Structure 1
């Protein structure tokens, strides 16, 4: 198991916590929590070792478009970069639309 951490500058806040995905074959789980810090803190737990550069690229791309201040935990089970991007976008959408989802 490898644990990777990154931080990215942030200027926007999210409304609430989000939890998307499941840890299973070829997928991942993302937990996104709001913070008042001026940066995003990302912690990745993965059994697929040696993909630090890929993780960094995918996350840099996400945060270049979404400068959200959040604590993000990613539990990976071999997800592809496309799945990671999709789950990050889903978590961001859920964190902004919790009230509409509850209704």
Structure 2
């Protein structure tokens, strides 16, 4: 297991908490807590070693598409594909935006 911590400038603010996915399903879970800061802190616990560059590239892309919200995003990854990872992350951001 590898722990990765990333930080990105936030371009928007949300309120609330959300959870998407289930790590026990061989997938991943994303837990997001919004705050009024200026950064998105991402803590990733993954079963895939040396995946820092993949995660950074995913968040760089998400930042360009929708802008990242301020807060804390905790990810428990059990080998999810980049597509599934993106869906779970977008799900928590969307859920909080409608709260």
The alignment's TM-score, normalised by the length of structure 1, stands at: 0.88
- Tell me which residue corresponds to 2:19: 19
Query: Distance in 2 between the 1:26 and 1:50 partners?
Result: 19
- Tell me which residue corresponds to 1:101: none
Q: Does 1:51 align with 2:51?
A: yes
Query: Distance in 1 between the 2:16 and 2:87 partners?
Result: 19
State the SS of the aligned residue for 2:50: coil
Runs of 4+ in 1 over 6 A off after TM superposition: none
RMSD of equivalent CA atoms: 1.2
Larger Rg: 1 or 2?
1
Cα distance, 1:12 vs. partner?
1.1
Query: Distance in 1 between the 2:63 and 2:78 partners?
Result: 22
Cα distance, 1:25 vs. partner?
4.4
The alignment's TM-score, normalised by the length of structure 2, stands at: 0.91
Q: Does 1:78 align with 2:89?
A: no
Long gaps (5+) in structure 2: none
Per-residue displacement from partner, 1:28-69 (whole Å, max 9, x unpaired)?
Answer: 000010112101000000111121111110111112222310
Aligned residues: 98
- Tell me which residue corresponds to 2:41: 41
